[in-house]
Amino acid sequence: MKNIWTIAKREYENYFNSPLAYAVAVGVLFMLGIYFALILYVSSQQSFMGGGIPEVAPLNWLFVFLMIFLSPALTMRLISDEARMGTLELMLTAPVRDFELVAGKWLGALLFVLSIALITIIYPLIVNNFVEPGIDWLVMLSSYLGLILVCAALLALGTGISAIFSNQFAAFFVTLGLFFFLWFMVSLPANYLPVGGEVFNYLSISTHFSQSMNNGTIALGDIVYYLSLTALGLFIGSTAVEIRRWN
Amino acid sequence: MIKVSGLTKDYGARRAIHNLSFDAKKGEVVGFLGPNGAGKTTTMRILTGYMPPTDGEALIAGYDVVEESLEVRKRVGYLPETVPLYTDMAVFDYLKFMGELRHLPDVDNRVDETLEMVGLLDRANGYIGNLSKGMRQRVGLAQALLHRPEVLILDEPTIGLDPGQMVEVRELIRDLGKERTVLLSTHLLNEAQNICDRVLIINKGKIITEDTTENLQSRLVGGERVLLRVRGEADELADTLKQIKGVQKVEAQADGAVEFGFSAGKDLRPEVAKQVIKAGYDLLEMRPLGMSLEEIFLELTGADKKK
């Protein structure tokens, strides 16, 4: 398990050498900043008319939504690039299990994304200072737990797909396509099916977050869903690495 | 230390190595010699646990490379042919990372010691991407040595080095080979002759021959060759030699000397000397020509082609 941490640490530090990772971080924070300003503006207009307090949970929704499009850029090169550069041979002849390699890469990416998420905590903190009696921190906690789980699942799937390809752009587009499908498309049949629609709803990566954890509802089913996706991603990654050995 | 039996590897329909068997003892430097595509890298990749063989078995320090791959990888230092490195890392950081993956105690000191061994201590903080090919080669070697492995597997360790660096690296390998097992591949014959105690010649996935470097040289295929030098014209000397019974393949050299051969076991040198003196030449030199590994190699691989 120590190997996972060693690999994660290197991968995390590596992001700070990568212009792409900075672009992702800046992009996310810029969009969230604009959205936050907008939320404040709208709620100030509403409070004139006796309206409510600013909602911060939508910011986490936007963070997760942006990750659908941006996280493939963070995971695309994790393993594919090592295969292309030949450094995978180093990793595969070091005393490291295939799973530890994949899990370490994934953890490094997750830590990087969570570092960005950590910065966004200033938004609830700001709002908390301006409203009485403060915001509901339990809802925020649930929202951030959801955010962590969604990101963990997305990044695990991305890492797994990166292990399949030797070309990082192939990995990027396949990952993006899968996320797009899981977010927008998989729940579509639910609206047309007379029975069994819930199954498709359950498969959607967005519903467990936007309609549940982001509103303060922590359900076991949602947690299991994201943890299963994470496990699936890491399993795909380890298997793909093992298959590489045989070729 | 290394024991390989019946190792076979197929890449799809192509058989890369075929029923390979050999072993290497502790303190032995074994050279793996063969043309490009002979199966050297494939064999090494199997021995380092990078990929499994299609058939056969390989043991390193008693551990099976497939069943106990992690144990094998702990005990092997490997320098891949292409010397893959994380070019965006500093030399020290990279080696420290590899050392941490091997759970080395006091890893900082170990990295410094290893860098000193390969003569890179002054470049410890430089980025690998900025290093010359020779220096990268040494970083790769440092990575292979970091955990002081019992078995070192070096795929073309001196390729791309300048002559000075080649000598240095060869000396380092010879030193290392005193207390551990080294398996190195090369297509440079003088390198094998220089560093290795034993040479395995491999072509098209099969071991053609296996012997110590001295034995290989003395084992002239079909006999021995001798160089003869006299004062004066050598053209007629060649004619004189051709008349001696048992002398074969007489060749006049451009510098006036003559080379000739005879079957192994029948030393014709005394007879030749007598005849040369009798013919009135002043005999200046007569010396046996060891066959270079190069010639043995061509002979062996060439013979294989004819089949």
Residue type, A140: M
Q: Chain A residues contacting B, CB < 8 Å?
A: 2-3, 6-7, 10, 14, 17, 85-90, 92-97, 245-247
Which one has a higher pLDDT value, B273 or A52? B273
Q: What is the pLDDT of residue B95?
A: 96
Q: What is the DSSP string of A28-79?
A: HHHHHHHHHHHHHHHHHHHHHTT--PPP-HHHHHHHHHHHHHHHHHHHTTTT
Contact B98 A90 (CB under 8 A): yes
Task: Give residues with Cβ within 8 angstroms of A168, minimum separation 6.
Answer: A76, A77, A80, A81, A84, A162
Contact A90 B51 (CB under 8 A): no
Q: What is the pLDDT of residue B238?
A: 75
**Model confidence band, residue B265 (pLDDT cutoffs 50, 70, 90):** low
Q: What is the pLDDT of residue B221?
A: 46
pLDDT in tens, B113-149: 999 988 889 999 999 999 988 889 889 999 999 999 9
pLDDT in tens, B40-53: 999 999 999 999 99
Task: Determine which helix (DSSP H) or strand (DSSP E) holds B136, and give its type and residue range.
Answer: helix B133-145
Nearest Cα residue to A214 out of A124, A143, A150: A143
Token digits of residue B1: 């230390």
Among A113-122, A151-160, B247-256, B275-284, the range scoring the smallest mean pLDDT is B247-256
In three-state secondary structure terms, B204 is: coil
Mean pLDDT (whole number) for A71-88 = 93
Cα–Cα distance between A204 and A143 in angstroms, integer? Answer: 17
Contacts of A97 in chain B (CB under 8 A): 70
Contact A86 B82 (CB under 8 A): yes
The gap between the terminal CA atoms of chain B, to the nearest Å, is 34
Distances (CA, A) of A215 to A113, A149, B24, B55, B134: 22, 15, 66, 58, 59
Which one has a higher pLDDT value, B159 or B306? B159
Contact A14 B100 (CB under 8 A): no
- Work out the mean pLDDT of chain A and round it to a whole number: 90
Q: Is the pLDDT of residue A143 over 60?
A: yes
Which one has a higher pLDDT value, B154 or B236? B154
- Within a 10 A sphere around the Cβ of B279, how many other Cβ atoms? 14
Mean pLDDT (whole number) for A57-66 = 91
- Within a 10 A sphere around the Cβ of B227, how many other Cβ atoms? 15
Cα–Cα distance between B122 and B92 in angstroms, integer? Answer: 10
Contact call for residues A226 and A152 (beta carbons, < 8 A): yes
Contacts of B74 in chain A (CB under 8 A): 95
- Within a 10 A sphere around the Cβ of B220, how many other Cβ atoms? 19
* Cis, bond preceding A133 (omega within 30 deg of 0): yes
Contact B50 A93 (CB under 8 A): yes
pTM for the model stands at 0.84
For tokens 């609830």, name the residue.
A124
Cα–Cα distance between B172 and B193 in angstroms, integer? Answer: 15
Distances (CA, A) of A27 to A15, A24, A30, A71, B92: 15, 5, 5, 12, 33
∠ Cα B50 B55 B61 (to 5°): 55
- Within a 10 A sphere around the Cβ of B36, how many other Cβ atoms? 8
Contact B102 A94 (CB under 8 A): yes
Size of interface A-B (CB pairs under 8 A): 56
**Model confidence band, residue B242 (pLDDT cutoffs 50, 70, 90):** confident
Mean pLDDT (whole number) for B248-255 = 74
Q: Rg (Cα) of chain B, in Å, rounded? A: 24
Q: What is the pLDDT of residue B271?
A: 81
Cα–Cα distance between B90 and B102 in angstroms, integer? Answer: 19
Contact B101 A14 (CB under 8 A): no
Q: Is the pLDDT of residue B270 over 60?
A: yes
Token digits of residue B179: 């207390």
Q: What is the pLDDT of residue B306?
A: 43
Distance from CA of B297 to the nearest CA of A (A): 30
Question: Does B47 reach chain A within 8 Å, measured CB to CB?
Answer: no
Q: Rg (Cα) of chain A, in Å, rounded? A: 20
Which of A2, A6, A93 shows the shortest C-beta gap to B97? A6
Contacts of A105 in chain B (CB under 8 A): none
∠ Cα A218 A39 A120 (to 5°): 60
**Model confidence band, residue B307 (pLDDT cutoffs 50, 70, 90):** very low
A55-61: long-range contacts (C-beta < 8 A, 24 or more apart)?
A: A56/A123, A56/A124, A56/A127, A56/A135, A56/A140, A57/A139, A57/A140, A57/A143, A57/A214, A57/A215, A59/A32, A59/A35, A59/A120, A59/A123, A60/A120, A60/A143, A60/A144, A60/A146, A60/A147, A60/A214, A61/A209, A61/A210, A61/A214
Tell me which of A93, A97, A241 to substitute to probe the interface with B (most B C-beta atoms closer than 10 Å): A93
Mean pLDDT (whole number) for A78-88 = 92
Q: What is the pLDDT of residue B305?
A: 46
Contact A85 B98 (CB under 8 A): no
- Within a 10 A sphere around the Cβ of A213, how many other Cβ atoms? 28
Question: Does B127 reach chain A within 8 Å, measured CB to CB?
Answer: no
